[in-house]
Structure 1
Amino acid sequence: MALDELRDLLDRHARPGQLTAIEDVLISKVDRTGPPVPAMSGAVLAVVAQGAKRIALGDRVYDYGAGQYLVASVDLPITGQFTRASPDRPALGFGLILRPDAIAEVLPHAPAESTGTPSGLVVSDTPPELLDAVVRLLRLIERPRDIPVLAPLIKKEILWRLVTGEQGAAVRQLGLADSSLTHIARAVQWIRDHYAHAFQVDELARLAGMSASAFHRHFQAVTATSPIQFQKLIRLQQARLLLAAGPADITGVSRSVGYDSLSQFSREYRRQFGAPPSQDAARLAADQTAKNSIMSSRVGL
């Protein structure tokens, strides 16, 4: 079966850092479960071959396991944890970074786009045609001479299977320059780039080319949060990344991510991560595995 071969290929070629010899192709192998880890999703296709994972986006929770795939069409602040993984049966996943320009190339031949703004995360069962293409792409790792010619063709096939599949609306909108999802992605990127600065929602709405009411509605549909809540999640995740990376200067970190009040920062940090920043920083310093998870986590993998 294709899923059995996918497990074997992923297990054989998994390396630290998840990178492979094929551009934009990632492989994950995790041999234990753990607590939820905050991360930015990136735009990615993730196919699970073994094990299971849970992703939380705002108040939405996505559970997916072997034989299922997840698409993240916008770079979102999420938390993820493996719910099935062990040394004898590690969680194994394939990832493909989604490039809007590559998706745009297949859109002229795709069905007409559905109306509405899709969620930034979607999960479905992996159809046999998509699974077969993923397996053929991974086989190229063992035939490096074929990668420059065949990898782009198989990647294009995978994108075609996505845009014509059950969750095609989310992937199609990623490739459209004037889609509502693309406009929201532009606002999301602005918040990520300027997370430490205050902003007016009306300004973001203008950046997205929408009225304030339409912007709120579409932003909530894609991200499951309000723009202000989204900014707070970005600030807190960045703060935790800084605390994991070096000595814990709590006051300096809080200011660098945009907080004027240390007490407010500590309160919101504890609410988000379950411990005040000083305790969390000490735990991360003592637990190298947890620290590495914070520094390198990817959403679907």
Structure 2
Amino acid sequence: MQNKDDINQQLAAMVATMAQQEGFTASALDYVHFMRSEQAYSRTPVMYEPCICIIVQGRKRAYLGEAIYTYDARQYLVVSAPMPFEADTEASPEQPMLGIHLGIQQTLAAELALAVQEAQQLQADVPANATITPTFMYATQVDDTLAAAVLRLLQALASPLEARILAPAIVREIYFRILMGEQGAAMRAALSQGSHFQKITRALRKIHDGFSDKLDVDSLARESGMSLPAFHLHFKQVTSTTPIQYIKAMRLHKARLLMIRSGMNAYTASNTVGYESSSQFSREFKRLFGRSPLEEVRQMRSVLRMHEVAGLS
């Protein structure tokens, strides 16, 4: 097997070729994107959907509550539930930040987590009653086996036939490597059915899918099978924020993407994400992002823009 430095250099070269413009570039798989940033960005609010973020050059940091997660060419970030947090980026035109954003397909990830858990219990590697604290966000080291699988994924995505036939199987392998990695047990626990964390995850998905609907915290708690105090407690354990704050952040982040990627104006975007008052939307948008909607779109257009599919030849 190649050593990690050789693999990192190949990964960086391939991503640099596939992502030649600032922002995100789509791949042949709709849940895999390439990232490129040629300028540093200070700590700013972001919203990640469930994903594995693998940096091959440069560095990013994520801030969630009091925790700080650093991910660079030696580390990757896992976010297993839709999560608002803050992030910064270290990059320059000479040394751009390059990375791969791999969306987590929840059903597949949960099936793999269950299969791993059952196999380990059969082998007596993990007691059936073992207690592991679930983790919805963490950064950990990229080992040689995972790096080699990511390299094979990029090579497959460069060919139309391999992208269609081989790439999904390699994605499955990457999920498996991460579930078996240094902090994989915590992610498997987060994906397990029946836990408070899984119930909160379902609530987060409901908010994520129905962000434009009238969302009632009491109803979310009832649907999660929790009392309102328990729902608030476990919700904050997972997201480091309250349900109301989370719903607001989700809508504002969705509106920002609609304005940047779909060209909507602030009024249309605010209505689309469920705001009845455009003035309230503007106030809350500026409170979160520090700029008016127009200023934020102008500033972040290159960072968050999604470019056409790359890598196929």
Partner of 2:73: 66
C-alpha change, 1:147 and 1:268, in structure 2 (3 Å) is closer
C-alpha change, 1:117 and 1:225, in structure 2 (3 Å) is farther
- CA-to-partner distance for each residue in 1:173-198, whole Å, 9 max, x for gaps? 46444343332122112233444666
**More displaced 10-residue stretch of structure 1: 109-118 or 92-101:** 109-118
Partner of 2:147: 131
2: CA distance, partners of 1:243 / 1:143 = 33
CA contact (8 A) 2:19 2:25 kept: yes
Which residue identity does 1:291 align to in structure 2? R
Partner of 1:85: 91
C-alpha change, 1:243 and 1:3, in structure 2 (3 Å) is closer
- Correspondence for 1:187 among 203, 207, 229: 203
> Would you say 1:5 and 2:41 are equivalent positions?
no
Q: Per-residue deviation at 1:22?
A: 4.1
CA contact (8 A) 2:52 2:101 kept: yes
CA contact (8 A) 1:117 1:222 kept: no
Map 1:86-105 onto structure 2 (within 5 A). Answer: 86-105=92-111
> Share of identical aligned residues, percent?
34
CA contact (8 A) 2:61 2:87 kept: yes
Q: Per-residue deviation at 1:91?
A: 0.7
Q: Per-residue deviation at 1:154?
A: 2.1
**More displaced 10-residue stretch of structure 1: 66-75 or 117-126:** 117-126
Partner of 1:140: 156
Q: Per-residue deviation at 1:23?
A: 5.1
Q: Which runs of 5+ in 1 are unaligned?
A: none
CA contact (8 A) 1:48 1:69 kept: yes
Secondary structure of 2:86's partner? strand
Cα RMSD, aligned residues only: 3.3
Which residue identity does 1:146 align to in structure 2? E
Map 1:209-224 onto structure 2 (within 5 A). Answer: 209-224=225-240
Partner of 2:222: 206
Secondary structure of 1:169's partner? helix
> Would you say 1:291 and 2:301 are equivalent positions?
yes
Which residue identity does 2:31 align to in structure 1? D
Partner of 2:247: 231
CA contact (8 A) 2:10 2:151 kept: yes
1: CA distance, partners of 2:196 / 2:96 = 38
Q: Per-residue deviation at 1:243?
A: 5.9
C-alpha change, 1:58 and 1:109, in structure 2 (3 Å) is closer
1: CA distance, partners of 2:64 / 2:306 = 19
Partner of 1:165: 181
